[in-house]
Structure 1
């Protein structure tokens, strides 16, 4: 109310003028986008809320990753927001700056990759599959929700079998019980081929980051789950640059140092009720 009274326009994403409505109840906009004057953009895991500032004692300390970009790639982020605004309001935003200043000395190859159920193809799935299949040295993935479909699991297994260092980082203390249980169900088939899974111990880890070899990394909103692959409107910032890749490598290495390995034996040695709950959660994975 305070924002509205101050002149801020706030719209729910799932409303649209007219008779048709392309959005189903299970779809949602999961993008986190900030664009400033068409010159600077921010993309990543941070929403606007107290818990993201570490003020929720149950979730603190909060671990997330956001990226700031400048230059021509800002056009892509702004276009994603403008399209979302059109779906919500039926309004084409005018007066936007579509000619951001070039970054002096900037040589980073950057791509803003929006994805969602309105796309003709499953953009997020295709991106992750392509990155995993082309990796030669490593694939490091950090995601709070790890409920991939079979083709993603197979791609991770094949990568590990050809000698790629495949690591998955998930939170030790999930904020969603069903998703947390589902993650256990993947341990055996991943561990069998050399994929390593780690649980981040402090607070709650919410970042969505992928590092590919020593060359590329992505930061965005898409989790490693069916909801992000097919049901959510997401956005990822893909950056191809060795220096940025080294920065992400150091960041994730620090996260692994605060983590503990997860083993398949945790499930096989667990009680029958727990193992049953994990199996039920896995069966419901496509709905999570």
Structure 2
């Protein structure tokens, strides 16, 4: 009798799991943004509800439509009222970028990012964590008016303490400090850390999808941007977060390979404006900057010599899938080569098709990815994409020394992009990202030299990585790829 009672309870739980799975699958079909994602969730929820219903609460459940509409309207209103003045006076339809990339590419990129190409900039690469944070801390130390800091991950370790001490020291001098961190990326940041900053006069806020409270059941739509701006004169953008692992302090993944850039010139105003949008969403207040509101970059002479840059912010509230379309356009713009470095190779179909077509028309297509893993599901899925890419003529390299985290794109010998966006669906559709594209042969040559050193530290894979894998590993790759829409 007792056994029958237990079996009845077990049967009821199994039936309940399947009912919940079907309900969740219907929700996924109605509200998931892409057909691929809807299929992946619906099949897994119906077939394996015991394993997927709970993850769906965290990864798939959202009030996305209302959130996207609210964020989009707010951004459009802010851009109409508060955008940098030089956006109104500069015609980005001609000039040097058009000569190098073509009128149609320039037009599509400016419309895609909602910002113009700006001349008169200086950009330098910062290779790895020591160079990056030395430059950032030096710039903060020289700050006179204000400092903007925004990171996806902030840790209260040795590097985090160095940053905190530097900000507190400048706040004590009367410099205004604005500090924005992602509430999920920095979920383990101690309250004592942010409290110490606030007590020292730093304006600190978490970025959350829902402004009223941090929704722990919504881990999508995170702010993955890394931005530092000092006095409107210099800006830092790239792949580094704040943690000792970005200095190579995490032995399983060290030495850590990453790239940041330092930007000086009119493009700083564009980078700063991206932060203003995020800050306004998080706080419903505009940060207070001295006139000119967007720093000395707004007074630069548009006709002055220097690098031409466009800042391309992207996020889940965009009218178009900005990040994915940027990669497609960059790949299609290449005539000789397109080199991409990314820690995660999980492209959507549009980007993957653009890569294969570029290889077929004779473009030197190379992608540099890690040989070490930090996320096992993403790593297994990327193996299958790498195999399919190699079969189409794309050259895939794995970086040997340590974990590769940089996000860099080199287009022919004329343009290079550095930012926070990975070659995966999470960056394409689920995260807020920022990319700076520089059209300048000198800078492109500098990036080429940097990437050549990386390729020399890598090995090229062939079809054997997949063919010679054991059967269980091949199954794992295919199962992992089912989750590619949310990886």
Question: TM over 0.5: same fold?
Answer: yes
Of Structure 1 and Structure 2, which has the larger fraction of its residues in strand? 1
Alpha-carbon distance between aligned partners in 2 of 1:192 and 1:118, rounded to the nearest angstrom: 35
Alpha-carbon distance between aligned partners in 1 of 2:383 and 2:256, rounded to the nearest angstrom: 22
Kindly provide the CA deviation profile for residues 6-65 of structure 1, in whole angstroms up to 9, marking residues without a partner as x. Answer: 22222110065569x9x9541100000000001110000011111111112222111100
- DSSP-derived class of the 2:442 partner: helix
Of Structure 1 and Structure 2, which has the larger fraction of its residues in helix? 2
Alpha-carbon distance between aligned partners in 2 of 1:17 and 1:266, rounded to the nearest angstrom: 45
Map of 2:335 onto structure 1: 136
Mark the runs of 5 or more structure 2 residues left unpaired by the alignment: 1-192
Map of 1:49 onto structure 2: 243
1:227 aligns with 2:423: no
1:90-239 matches, within 5 Å, as 90-96=284-290, 97-101=293-297, 102=300, 106-239=305-438
Alpha-carbon distance between aligned partners in 1 of 2:285 and 2:405, rounded to the nearest angstrom: 32
Is the Cα contact below 8 Å between 1:218 and 1:236 reproduced in 2? yes
1:69 aligns with 2:268: no
**Following TM superposition, where does structure 1 have runs of at least 4 consecutive aligned residues deviating by more than 4 angstroms?**
15-19
Is the Cα contact below 8 Å between 2:246 and 2:256 reproduced in 1? yes
- DSSP-derived class of the 2:207 partner: coil
1:29 aligns with 2:223: yes
Among 248, 261, 270, the alignment partner of 2:447 is 248
Moved more, 185-194 or 74-83: 185-194
Alpha-carbon distance between aligned partners in 2 of 1:254 and 1:167, rounded to the nearest angstrom: 14
Map of 1:88 onto structure 2: 282
- DSSP-derived class of the 1:185 partner: helix
- DSSP-derived class of the 1:286 partner: helix
Alpha-carbon distance between aligned partners in 1 of 2:410 and 2:248, rounded to the nearest angstrom: 25
Mark the runs of 5 or more structure 1 residues left unpaired by the alignment: none
Alpha-carbon distance between aligned partners in 1 of 2:417 and 2:241, rounded to the nearest angstrom: 18
Moved more, 207-216 or 188-197: 188-197
Is the Cα contact below 8 Å between 2:231 and 2:295 reproduced in 1? no
Alpha-carbon distance between aligned partners in 2 of 1:69 and 1:80, rounded to the nearest angstrom: 14
Kindly provide the CA deviation profile for residues 90-133 of structure 1, in whole angstroms up to 9, marking residues without a partner as x. Answer: 11122254142438964211011110011111111111111111
Is the Cα contact below 8 Å between 1:15 and 1:87 reproduced in 2? no
Is the Cα contact below 8 Å between 2:387 and 2:465 reproduced in 1? no
Alpha-carbon distance between aligned partners in 2 of 1:152 and 1:86, rounded to the nearest angstrom: 32
**TM-score, length-scaled by structure 2:** 0.57
**TM-score, length-scaled by structure 1:** 0.94
- DSSP-derived class of the 1:186 partner: helix
Alpha-carbon distance between aligned partners in 2 of 1:206 and 1:5, rounded to the nearest angstrom: 34
- DSSP-derived class of the 1:63 partner: coil
C-alpha change, 1:54 and 1:25, in structure 2 (3 Å) is closer
Pairs aligned (count):
286
Moved more, 278-287 or 221-230: 278-287
Q: Which has the larger radius of gyration?
A: 2
Alpha-carbon distance between aligned partners in 2 of 1:125 and 1:266, rounded to the nearest angstrom: 27
- DSSP-derived class of the 2:203 partner: coil
